[in-house]
Amino acid sequence: MSIAVLGPTFPNLAANVHKNVSDIYYIFVGRSLGYLGGSVVGGVLFDWMNAHLLLALSMFGTTVGLYGIPWCEKSLLLTVLMSVIGASMGILDTGGNVLALNTWGAEAGPHMQALHFSFAVGAFVAPILAKMALGGSKSQELPVAEHTNQSVWRSVPTAPAASAGSALKHRLGADFLWSYVVIGTYLLFVSFFFFILYSKGSSARDKSKAALQKGMFAKYHYALITLLFVFFLFYVGAEVTYGSYIFTYAKVFAEMNENEAAALNSIFWGAFAACRGVAIFCAACLYPGTMILLSIIGSALSSLCLAFFAQYPASLWVGTAVYGASMATIFPSGISWIEQYTVVQGKSASLFVIGAALGEMCIPAAVGYLQGRFHHVPVVMYTALVTSAMTFVLFPLMYKLATSPAGSDLKETSESEDRKALLSNSGLNEDEEDEEDAGEWNEADFEVIEMNDTLRNSVIETSRKIPGDSAATVSLQPPLDDALCDSPAVAGGSPGRKNVNVDREKND
């Protein structure tokens, strides 16, 4: 929302800094540079800092920028705030992907699709929110923005003109202020949840998990990361280029009116957002590689249809819808797919975001330049075809590297190490069991020895008392002798038994 709200309120921002709309194009450059810088810095910081804390701080920085933009009266300050928002967005894009992978691991597919679906929802809601905030003042503001220039604002007004200018300035600030305030407050509210998660220290588990995964890098890790960087560059560049130029193409080449061209543009982004929503459920039953394969096949077929059969209205409408739907799931599925074969840390995720940002800046600019040189050539359609062909070639190459025998050997090595660890643990358990059994047998031996000593002492005492006993006591002695005969301690005879026999003979 913080990115999409700029479009509807752009004339208001220009009037607020006393500039024409065409004179503040550099705020987009500042935001793009901030986005690239935030992606690089975020990739480094996420490997060293608490992920929840970094996300909370970046969202708080975005809130500060959104609160300050409506009050900017200097173009330089506006550019600085746009750069701050861009840097925060770069950190959020990088950190959101890394945090999702660290939290859900191999099951991150549906969650990754939901994360990127929220981007489409925000882009859809922000213009509506801005339009509601502007209300009925659009007809009053736009002429002011169109006729306002530096010479008018630099002239010294009279007192009535000054009061009118201050009232107009207040009017401009009050109109589009609330859209930025509402979005900024929402981000501030969400940042509090990340601060709460940081206070609970739940990301320590993520750090320990990342530490355990350090030895699981694929042999072709850097080659895979580089190829996916190029893959995302072409993919995002093609997505932004088609969404930016399809309106102009429909009016110039297809000879549509503005309403039809706007409807065609809405078809593209509507199919894009709807397919991202459906992909949340598809990711639960389909592998990321399968979703990427279906997407690049769909984009290749639809771009082929658009490049050579766009003169037919049905082909243009159907091809645009299929192309938008095919482009929806590639980025989140690509991140989930690469995580199956190697470890995706902060630096790797930042490279993916940087590749997407470079594609978003370079490919549309190149298409605009070529379209200006070759007026009668549908450059946007041929660009869609070329980028689809590049992604169609790059993905099998990445799959070949990811599933190479070297990667399987690495997995077998890790499995053998785990097996050795399990065997060593089982050996230790067996030794412990043997020691416990030996201890139990020793205790049993001591108990037997103590019992024998007790029986021996009792027999000796009894033999000493028998001469003074009565005949009734002597009659009870044979059962005791039988019991003593069964005992192993007296099996070989004892002095007590001999004395008993001698006394019995005397009594007889």
| CATH code of the domain containing 142 | 1.20.1250
pLDDT beyond 90 at 73: no
- pLDDT value of position 346: 77
**Ordered alpha helix ranges (H), 283-404:** 288-309, 313-326, 330-338, 346-373, 379-402
Residue 176: pLDDT band by 50, 70, 90 thresholds? low
- pLDDT value of position 383: 94
- pLDDT value of position 368: 86
* Domain-located, residue 445: no
How far CA 213 is from CA of 222, 288, 346, 398, in Å, comes to: 16, 21, 13, 21
Do residues 230 and 198 both lie within one domain?
Answer: no
Host H or E run for residue 184: helix 159-199
Do residues 199 and 236 both lie within one domain?
Answer: no
Do residues 403 and 316 both lie within one domain?
Answer: yes
- pLDDT value of position 158: 36
- Residue 241 phi/psi, 5° resolution? -65, -50
Measured in whole angstroms, the distance separating CA 24 from the mean position of its chain's CA atoms is 35
In the block, tokens 């009116």 appear at 257
pLDDT beyond 60 at 465: no
Angle subtended by helix axes 379-402 and 221-252, to nearest 10: 160
* Domain-located, residue 436: no
Our count of domains for the chain comes to: 3
Give the pLDDT mean for 117-129.
76
Q: CA-CA distance, 292 to 308, in Å (whole number)?
A: 24
Q: What percent of the chain has pLDDT over 70?
A: 66
Question: Which of 209-218, 292-301, 375-384 is predicted least confidently?
Answer: 209-218
* Domain-located, residue 465: no
Q: Which amino acid does the sequence have at 463?
A: S
pLDDT in tens, 424-457: 444 444 444 455 555 554 444 444 444 555 545 5
- pLDDT value of position 139: 39
pLDDT beyond 70 at 487: no
Residues in the chain: 508
- pLDDT value of position 29: 79
Total Cβ atoms within 10 A of residue 7: 12
Measured in whole angstroms, the distance separating CA 406 from the mean position of its chain's CA atoms is 27
Do residues 103 and 69 both lie within one domain?
Answer: yes
Give the pLDDT mean for 497-504.
43
For the four alpha carbons of 315, 317, 321 and 324, in that order, the dihedral sign comes to positive
Do residues 390 and 493 both lie within one domain?
Answer: no
* Domain-located, residue 427: no
How far CA 331 is from CA of 78, 93, 171, 184, 435, in Å, comes to: 31, 12, 42, 27, 57
395: domain range? Answer: 218-421
Measured in whole angstroms, the distance separating CA 48 from the mean position of its chain's CA atoms is 17
pLDDT beyond 70 at 390: yes
Q: CA-CA distance, 160 to 491, in Å (whole number)?
A: 131
Interior/surface letters 414-453, b for 16+ CB within 10 angstroms, e for the rest:
eeeeeeeeeeeeeeeeeeeeeeeeeeeeeeeeeeeeeeee
Q: CA-CA distance, 440 to 394, in Å (whole number)?
A: 66
Do residues 198 and 270 both lie within one domain?
Answer: no
Do residues 181 and 47 both lie within one domain?
Answer: yes
Do residues 266 and 381 both lie within one domain?
Answer: yes
Q: Is 239 exposed, middle or buried (0-12, 13-18, 19+ CB in 10 A)?
A: buried
Give the SS3 label for residue 327: coil
Q: What is the DSSP string of 64-118?
A: HHHHHGGG--SHHHHHHHHHHHHHHHHHHHHHHHHHHHHHHGGG-HHHHHHHHHH
How far CA 307 is from CA of 234, 294, 450, in Å, comes to: 17, 20, 99
Q: CA-CA distance, 481 to 493, in Å (whole number)?
A: 11
Q: CA-CA distance, 458 to 123, in Å (whole number)?
A: 97
Do residues 283 and 417 both lie within one domain?
Answer: yes
